[in-house]
Amino acid sequence: MENGAHGDQPRGGLKKKKKKKKKSSEDYQHGADAFHGVDGELRVEERRVNWEILEAWRDAAEECGIPKIKEFNRGITTVMLTFR
């Protein structure tokens, strides 16, 4: 026994646990990033149709200083859809 450690424990501390890879529940259309995962059961995509009013709404938000982006978590855009 060295410094109170036993067996395969590091000196003076508890055994470190290995982090398990978290499986994402979603399969994001544009790939994995800080907000989205891939290979999950739920497909997340942009809408498949476009309405003029939605683009006018995004343009107005951009004029107010909200960035016009394609990704739902980072600025102003339309809602993304979940499919299975």
78 or 53, which is more confident: 53
> For 16-25, what is each residue's pLDDT tens digit?
666 555 668 8
Q: What is the pTM of this model?
A: 0.50
Going across the sheet that includes 26-28, the strands are 26-28, 42-45, 81-83
Average pLDDT, the chain: 78
Q: Where are the domains of the chain?
A: 26-83
Q: How far apart are CA 75 and CA 52, in angstroms?
A: 19
